[in-house]
Amino acid sequence: AKIADPQPPDIRIPKPASDLSVQQLSDYVILSVSKPIQNTDGTEATTLAAMDLLRLAEEAQEWDPRQPLSDEQFLSRAVRVLSIPASRFPNYLKDGVFFIEDRLTATANGKPFARGYRYAVLFFNESDQTAGLSNQASIRMIPIPPAPEGLSAELTETAVKLSWTVPAANTDGSKPARIAGYNLYRSASPDGVPDQPVNSVPLQEPGFEDRSFSFDKTYYYSVSTVGNLENPHARSLPSDFLKVQTRDTFPPAPPEEFSAILDGETVLLLWVPSPSRDVAGYVIHRQEKGTQSQIRLNPEFIRTPSYRDRVDPKKEYQYSIRAVDTHGNESVPVLALFEKR
């Protein structure tokens, strides 16, 4: 039998990343990059063993992100900031994306704002082989203010009205404070700040009305300062959480045009329903003229805008009606206008 010629072993090397991005958070850098899902030959990347993060610091007067560096130029000058083995990937991964913090306060003699930074990553297989650098991501750190203080909230029937104090200076003490806007975050738990703020674009005023809230919930709000609107954004750390419990204590609007029409031994009561959306029903009281006591006519809520009451036609009565919402809040009473047929 003929023995086949020996074949070279398959080499599985993860593809270089192409979506490395960077942004400033306070005085450090946040990097994000997708975990490779394919090797260079198109097969599934199942032998990923490590990732290296490389950083090149350049003096501000020399730094020009519009001038890209070749891989050789970058590698000859960059330093390895972090090496992450596969066993520690879960500490950095979220939904298939690595998130890495690079704290720069110890670099550049404690002055991270004096330099520009370029980053790249390398992914390695189990044989310590790499297909090369990712794309390069650049950032120039700028001094920005800390998170706003004095976050407070006022609950109204239609919105949670939030406000905060405008920061007076940047974190390095310089003035004026570099403020391009604010981001407001809302969470159902104090365990972490959401990835996306409530606002779609940075807020230009130190306040916001959250109209998408629901009653009977507990929310945790925090706010951060946006230092610039360029890409990448520079933003402060979020403020401490403000806990807001949205209890509905707001009475509904009363019904309108409440009238009582006497027809023999029957009084027909009619009204225009309350415009409030959370009305559970209506309660009607009757008081005989010359007495001090009021009698509730309906043990259960009335849900239609009419009611019939049998009376003694020789006596005079006064009627009042209240709207009651789903939380038990009652409107102010409305007295009936009396008519006779």
Structural domains in the chain? Answer: 21-140 (2.60.40.10), 149-245 (2.60.40.10), 256-340 (2.60.40.10)
pLDDT digits (tens, 9 = 90+) for 89-128: 999 999 999 999 998 854 545 567 778 899 999 999 999 9
State percent of the chain over pLDDT 70.
94
CB 115 within 8 A of CB 63: yes
Average pLDDT on 273-294 reads 94
**pLDDT of 231 above 80:** no
Least confident of 105-109, 146-150, 174-178: 105-109
Quote the pLDDT of residue 56: 95
Distance of CA 63 to the CA centre of its chain: 35
How confident is the model at residue 41, as a pLDDT? 92
pTM of the model: 0.79
Average pLDDT on 68-77 reads 94
44 pLDDT band, cuts 50/70/90, is very high
Q: What is the pLDDT of residue 177?
A: 95
Q: What is the DSSP letter of 71?
A: H
DSSP states of 256-321:
EEEEEEEETTEEEEEEEPPS-TTEEEEEEEEEETT----EE--SS-B-SSEEEEE--TTS-EEEEE
CB 327 within 8 A of CB 215: yes
> Judging by DSSP bridges, how do beta strands 21-25 and 234-235 pair with one another?
parallel
Tell me what pLDDT residue 341 has: 62
Predicted confidence band of residue 8 (pLDDT cuts 50, 70, 90): low
Residue 24 has pLDDT above 70, yes or no: yes
pLDDT computed for residue 108 by the predictor: 47
Q: Kind and range of the H or E element at 323?
A: strand 317-325
**Residue 68: its pLDDT value, please?**
85
Flag whether pLDDT at 4 surpasses 80. no
